[in-house]
Amino acid sequence: MELKLDADKFDELQALFIREIIDKVRIKLEEAGLKGLEMEEIAASIAFSIASTIDDTSDIEVDGVEVHPYLTFRDAQDRLIHSGEKSYTYEFVRGALKKLFDV
């Protein structure tokens, strides 16, 4: 696979990616019986936690092994789209929450 540096496309894709994650969390919270503001607050907390893990801003270490994720997206030509730096999905969480919860 080839790496392709495309910061604009990467921004678009990571915004869609974190929005989809938040929507999946929302669905599972609804299935668990949560509603309204409580569901929104829990979904937001989970979303920010997941985003900070994806973005490598929270320390991940298991049994002395450090883990440092580097997010890429595969395009139709099997190229890996990246931004040249670590992801920042965290920056898109609030906007996704507004779209999904109308807040």
The predicted-structure confidence for 55-67, as pLDDT tens digits, reads as follows 989 889 999 999 9
Q: Is 71 within 8 Å of 7 (Cβ atoms)?
A: no
> What are the backbone dihedrals phi and psi of residue 49, each rounded to the nearest 5 degrees, phi first?
-65, -45
Output Rg (C-alpha) for the chain, integer angstroms: 15
Over the stretch 1-23, which tens digit does the pLDDT of each residue have?
Answer: 899 999 999 999 999 999 999 99
CA–CA dist 8, 74 (Å, integer): 15
Q: Which residues pair with 62 in a beta bridge?
A: 65
Assessment of whether the complete model's pTM goes beyond 0.75 = yes
| Residue 48: per-residue pLDDT | 96
**DSSP 3-state assignment of 81?**
strand
Beta partners for residue 4, in sequence order: 81
Give the confidence band of 102 by pLDDT, cuts at 50, 70, 90.
confident
Whether the CB-CB separation of 54 and 87 falls below 8 Å is answered with: yes
69 with 84: CB under 8 angstroms?
A: no
Instruction: pLDDT band for 71, please (50, 70, 90 cuts).
Output: very high
Where is 4: in which H helix or E strand? strand 2-5
Each residue's pLDDT tens digit, 32-54: 999 999 999 999 999 999 999 99
